Amino acid sequence: MTALRDLPKLELHLHLEGAAPPAFIRDLAKRKHIDLSRIFDAQGAYAYDGFVDFLRVYEAACTVLTSPQDFHDLTLAVLEQSADQGVIYTEAFLSPDFCGGGDVVAWRDYLAAIEAAATQAEAQLGITMRGCVTCIRHFGSDKARYAARCAQETAGRFITGFGIAGDENMLHPRDFAYAFDAAREVGLGLTAHAGEWGGPDSVRAALQDLRVSRIGHGVRAIEDPVLVDTLAEQGVVLEVCPGSNVALGLYPSLDLHPVDRLRRAGVAVTVSTDDPPFFHTTMTREYQGLADHFGWDAPEFDSLAQTALQAAFCDPETRAAIARKLEAR
């Protein structure tokens, strides 16, 4: 089989800020005279202790991203990183909360900068990016409405989805139904983080109250065989991030991760990195882990790419262009 790194990959679950190389954040902090030393370890990697602390470090890193130019440079750095791992299509979570604080006018400027970088990366590196506007659960439902407003105002060829990330143990999906209804109205694809820090009920609530076609993570559905069957029958797509789940302590090792059991049960699974530098991972490392621990090979990796292609929130022309690239490799 082709070297894992060279396999053409599609990634549906990547937080733009969470993909920031630590050196990129450190450099911006230095230039802006912001002291961020507390969020790095002695080796210069992001340092956190568990999920809630991870969110704190993530948000601290975001404080240095204060202008559209910062997001332009970040987008280029992230897409270079992804293209280097064989990624040909990526959907990135973009948060208006970190791009102008939810103000639609500011958001347009940030988004224009991100899209300009994506266009440049596509021309130079052959990687296609689409954006999924994302609200942050623990920031509350009012901010989610602002995020949805930003999504409504900018939905189109580049902004193709709406989602929710953040602390799954805060509030309830029904508190965000208004925001998701607004996003659905303008034709955006919908995804919600669930079944990561919450169990099967959390996945059920996201499906019922937010009517999403994809679930971010969703792996704890494995705790309820009836829910696993429902996901398989309804074709709900899971954006599984094994390395993230192990790094954050959800599973003690990849051997105990349910991704292979979910796939064997007929659930549509895709694989992503979530916040790669935080978890010391890349798409190639994710693939390598699946090959080493579960014996995944060309058929499984082909099927991952095809599932992601069908589940991507892009327009038909983009999907067809990515399909042609997959066939050509």
Q: Which residues are catalytic?
A: 196
Closest contact distance (angstroms) between CB of 216 and ligand ADE is 7
Q: How many residues bind ligand ADE (CB under 6 A)?
A: 10
Type of residue at 107? W
Report the residue from 17, 115, 168, 274 that binds Zn ion according to the rule CB under 5 A.
274
Closest contact distance (angstroms) between CB of 117 and ligand ADE is 20
Q: Of Zn ion, ligand ADE, none, which one sits near residue 166, judging by CB under 5 to 8 A according to partner kind?
A: ligand ADE
47-76 residues near ligand ADE, rule: CB under 6 A: 58
Report the residue from 7, 11, 15, 73 that binds ligand ADE according to the rule CB under 6 A.
15
Nearest Cα neighbor of 268 from 302, 211, 308 is 308
249-278 residues near ligand ADE, rule: CB under 6 A: 274-275
Nearest Cα neighbor of 275 from 32, 19, 67, 47 is 19
Q: Of ligand ADE, Zn ion, none, which one sits near residue 11, judging by CB under 5 to 8 A according to partner kind?
A: none
Closest contact distance (angstroms) between CB of 196 and ligand ADE is 5
Cβ distance to ligand ADE smaller for residue 74 or 326? 74
Is residue 115 a contact point for Zn ion (CB under 5 A)? no
Helix (H, G, I), strand (E, B) or coil at 95: coil
Q: Which two tokens stand for residue 235?
A: 């074709």
Contacts of 208 (CB under 8 A, 6+ apart): 173
**Cβ atoms within 10 Å, residue 226:** 10
Residue 165 near residue 92 (C-beta atoms within 8 A): no
Q: Which two tokens stand for residue 247?
A: 């790094």
Cβ distance to ligand ADE smaller for residue 11 or 274? 274
Residue 306 near residue 10 (C-beta atoms within 8 A): no
Report the residue from 57, 113, 147, 165 that binds ligand ADE according to the rule CB under 6 A.
165
Cβ distance to ligand ADE smaller for residue 73 or 239? 239
Q: How far is CA 61 from the centre of its chain?
A: 17
Instruction: Kindly state the DSSP code that residue 275 receives in the 8-state scheme.
Output: S
185-244 residues near ligand ADE, rule: CB under 6 A: 193, 196, 244
Q: Of Zn ion, ligand ADE, none, which one sits near residue 196, judging by CB under 5 to 8 A according to partner kind?
A: ligand ADE
Report the residue from 161, 166, 195, 277 that binds ligand ADE according to the rule CB under 6 A.
166
Nearest Cα neighbor of 13 from 203, 217, 154, 151 is 217
Helix (H, G, I), strand (E, B) or coil at 31: helix
Q: Of Zn ion, ligand ADE, none, which one sits near residue 244, judging by CB under 5 to 8 A according to partner kind?
A: ligand ADE
Helix or strand (DSSP H, E) at 263? helix 259-264
Cβ distance to Zn ion smaller for residue 95 or 152? 95
Cβ distance to ligand ADE smaller for residue 170 or 298? 170
Question: Residue 240: beta bridge partners?
Answer: 271
Half-sphere exposure of 276 (CA within 13 A, CB side): 23
Residue 157: Cβ-neighbour burial (10 angstroms; 0-12, 13-18, 19+) = exposed
Closest contact distance (angstroms) between CB of 295 and ligand ADE is 26
Contacts of 54 (CB under 8 A, 6+ apart): 48, 248, 278
Closest contact distance (angstroms) between CB of 213 and ligand ADE is 19
Closest contact distance (angstroms) between CB of 32 and Zn ion is 26
Report phi then psi at 17, rounded to 5.
Answer: -70, -35
Residues that bind ligand ADE (CB under 6 A): 15, 18, 58, 165-166, 193, 196, 244, 274-275
Residues that bind Zn ion (CB under 5 A): 274
